[in-house]
Structure 1
Amino acid sequence: MAPDGDGGGGGFVCVTGGSGFIGSWLVRLLLGRGYTVHATVKNLHDEGETKHLQAMDGAGARLRLFQMDLLDPASVRPAVEGARGVFHLASPNELVEPAVKGTLSVLHAARDCGVGRVVLVSSQTAMVPNPSWPAGKVIDEDSWADIELIRKHKLWYNLSKTVAEKAAWDFVQKEGLQMQLVVLNPALVLGPTLTPSITASLKVFLQIMQGKRFDMDEYFIGCVDVRDVAQSLVALYENPSAEGRHLCLESAERMVDFTNKLADLYPALPVERIQEDRQGWVVRAKNPSKKLINLGVRFTPFDKTITDTMDCFKSKGLI
């Protein structure tokens, strides 16, 4: 079953986790392209989850919000019923079993409701660390994170993303479904937020700008603008030829590159420059997200993403 719109937009889709950092930009983009959207939130009575969505252009006529508990399959189906496509973004942070159960609940509902295409947001943390990856080769969609190594380093968020994505692929394969599954694997997501408060990745970035050092040497390979993530998700839905996994980042780089760029852009802030590069395994590359680029996605330059993120922080009085 082909997605609605044949590359042009329109039709009826469901977005789980629609009130979040990525989800809000995706809902806004979908409404702008003429889609009717069912978006799920954790609490319909929390204006922090609902007000910014209801204020979007087109929301009055084409947006309906649903309260959903990922661990309650009965709460998933009403949002999915009638949709031609599902974007699954909702995920409990750092909780492995709920992440898997939640993903399977959404896939079961999509199957039972006759959904044609599911676009799943995973993460580049489901790709690395991977000690068996060939030296000198840029990380791509064939790489899977080493689960035992993730457990050893107690990287629970990384583990939840890896096992949830694996469970999704296993489900589709075992069921022999007509339903199409495509996956997006974004790097560290930055950029301005439409939400009233900032979420996990932006909190990490804010703390880096305030001088905190994060040990992400085992898995950091770069960052990506949230608006590009939303564009990528729509591209995966609207292009029937899109299949498999899709690495999503502006350029492949190391933590030392990242922090040094930030320190150069904002010399007045106490960004801690990394003195020792411990990421020899990361092969630097421009335009590594070739599958997305071939689908027409164009990535925002790093400096603009950072500037827009900082402007957003300033508007919220955070920096």
Structure 2
Amino acid sequence: MADKKGEIVCVTGASGFIGSWIVHLLLRRGYTVRATIKDLADERETKHLEAMEGADSRLRLFQIDLLEYGSIAAAISSAAGVFHVASPSTIDQVDDPQRKLLDPAIKGTLNVLRAAKNLGVGRVVITSSISSMSTSASPSSLADLSEDSWVDEDYCRQNGLWYPLSKALAEKAAWKFGKENGVDLVVVNPGMVVGPILPPALNLSMQLMVRTLEGCDFGRFLMASLVHVKDVALAHILLYENRSAAGRHLCVESLSRYHEFAQQMERHYPQYKLPRSSEEKHHGSVGSQAALKKLIDLGLKYTPMEQIVKDAIESLRSKGYLS
């Protein structure tokens, strides 16, 4: 493990599921972390971060608004690198998707990149999503998923899939800005991120897992692109530390159909009643393993699906989200 004592980095969205794990691993590696949150007065955002090993001397919290450049610049000031994780997410319908999802994702990302450029940041690592690569009416279209794949924006708008649309538009805006302004950026495209919970709130993927275990059927659009949250956090750090890394990086343990994921949960937790229609409609693994190779070549060793499922469900049970 590299000793990064003295190197300052900034993590946006630090109180969230992925952001908390990134902060945790950065502190363990010796980094000094400037972590951004929404509300310094909210212990649900601050308490678990301040309790981390090394936080007393190497963690500083900043309250920011993604739509306010000044607050972002203050947090990024003096940082050698930025991990931009912050972005709104929900599986529920929103009454104003432009204001609540699209603007914070797109304009927030551009504000972070402008601050990084103006303040001389060395590298920006952006958290995107596998959903920016593919969300379509036909699951078979996932078979050719690659670094060059993009979501069908019209399909997202027509079907109210605002989260994948927000991730795709934010990522496209980031690549355009980076190319035009010489900002060194790389992107992580995680799948369904689950695992041990550090903050006192559930991320989008863990909410999906809970609802699936309660009997909701998300198989009509959800591919079980499962990945452990610790692996996702480490992927961000590997991309930051390996400056030869470039482009988009699909980050999943495997690309498999929804029913394979459901079967893993049923095998170990038969007490939960999982939906059956997804298993009946979809069969077989999909996607190219070549798309996963970039992070593996950097040294990332993925947690197997069976362990991912166990870690996620045991964490949900211990936190009281499942009986």
Provide the TM-score with structure 2 as the length reference.
Answer: 0.90
Asked whether 1:38 is paired with 2:44, we answer no
Query: Does structure 2 conserve the Cα–Cα contact (< 8 Å) formed by 1:138 and 1:288?
Result: no
Q: Residue in 2 aligned with 1:311?
A: 314
Q: Residue in 2 aligned with 1:92?
A: 88
Deviation of residue 198 (structure 1)?
2.0
Cα deviation digits, residues 139-168 of structure 1 (max 9, x gap): 221111121122122210000000000000
CA separation of 1:135/1:200 partners in 2, compared to 1, >3 Å: closer, same or farther?
closer
Query: Does structure 2 conserve the Cα–Cα contact (< 8 Å) formed by 1:263 and 1:272?
Result: no
Q: Determine the C-alpha separation between the residues in 2 that align with 1:260 and 1:108.
A: 45
Aligned-partner residue type, residue 110 of structure 1: A
Asked whether 1:254 is paired with 2:241, we answer no
CA separation of 1:295/1:256 partners in 2, compared to 1, >3 Å: closer, same or farther?
same
Aligned-partner residue type, residue 190 of structure 1: V
Query: What SS does the aligned partner of 1:245 have?
Result: strand
Asked whether 1:155 is paired with 2:158, we answer no
Asked whether 1:209 is paired with 2:213, we answer yes
Aligned-partner residue type, residue 314 of structure 1: R
Q: Residue in 2 aligned with 1:117?
A: 123
Percent identity over the alignment is 47
Note the 1:213-292 alignment, pairs <5 A.
Answer: 213-215=217-219, 217-218=220-221, 220-273=223-276, 274-278=278-282, 283-284=286-287, 288-292=291-295
Among residues 191, 209, 212, which one is paired with 2:195 in the alignment?
A: 191
- Give the structure with the larger helix fraction: 2
CA separation of 1:62/1:201 partners in 2, compared to 1, >3 Å: closer, same or farther?
same
Provide the TM-score with structure 1 as the length reference.
Answer: 0.91
In structure 2, runs of 5+ residues without a counterpart are 91-100
CA separation of 1:41/1:28 partners in 2, compared to 1, >3 Å: closer, same or farther?
same
CA separation of 1:130/1:290 partners in 2, compared to 1, >3 Å: closer, same or farther?
farther
CA separation of 1:193/1:67 partners in 2, compared to 1, >3 Å: closer, same or farther?
same
Q: Structure 1 stretch 289-298 or stretch 131-140: which is displaced more?
A: 131-140
Deviation of residue 261 (structure 1)?
2.1
Q: Residue in 2 aligned with 1:173?
A: 179
Aligned-partner residue type, residue 31 of structure 1: L
Q: Residue in 2 aligned with 1:50?
A: 46
Query: Does structure 1 conserve the Cα–Cα contact (< 8 Å) formed by 2:143 and 2:288?
Result: no
Q: Determine the C-alpha separation between the residues in 1 that align with 2:123 and 2:136.
A: 29
Query: Does structure 1 conserve the Cα–Cα contact (< 8 Å) formed by 2:228 and 2:303?
Result: yes
Aligned-partner residue type, residue 21 of structure 2: W
Q: Determine the C-alpha separation between the residues in 2 that align with 1:308 and 1:290.
A: 24
Q: Determine the C-alpha separation between the residues in 2 that align with 1:294 and 1:184.
A: 15
Among residues 297, 317, 320, which one is paired with 1:294 in the alignment?
A: 297
In structure 1, runs of 5+ residues without a counterpart are none
Query: Does structure 2 conserve the Cα–Cα contact (< 8 Å) formed by 1:131 and 1:146?
Result: no
Cα deviation digits, residues 175-229 of structure 1 (max 9, x gap): 2x1x3100000001000110123232211111111222124x3452511000000
Note the 1:118-157 alignment, pairs <5 A.
Answer: 118-129=124-135, 137-157=143-163
Asked whether 1:21 is paired with 2:25, we answer no
RMSD over equivalenced CA pairs, Å: 2.2
Aligned-partner residue type, residue 196 of structure 1: P
Deviation of residue 121 (structure 1)?
0.2
Q: How many residues get paired?
A: 310
Query: Does structure 1 conserve the Cα–Cα contact (< 8 Å) formed by 2:255 and 2:286?
Result: yes
Query: What SS does the aligned partner of 1:192 have?
Result: coil
Q: Determine the C-alpha separation between the residues in 1 that align with 2:173 and 2:224.
A: 24
Q: Structure 1 stretch 206-215 or stretch 136-145: which is displaced more?
A: 136-145
Among residues 9, 14, 30, which one is paired with 2:4 in the alignment?
A: 9
Aligned-partner residue type, residue 211 of structure 1: G
Q: Determine the C-alpha separation between the residues in 1 that align with 2:187 and 2:139.
A: 20
CA separation of 1:134/1:266 partners in 2, compared to 1, >3 Å: closer, same or farther?
closer
Query: Does structure 2 conserve the Cα–Cα contact (< 8 Å) formed by 1:249 and 1:288?
Result: no
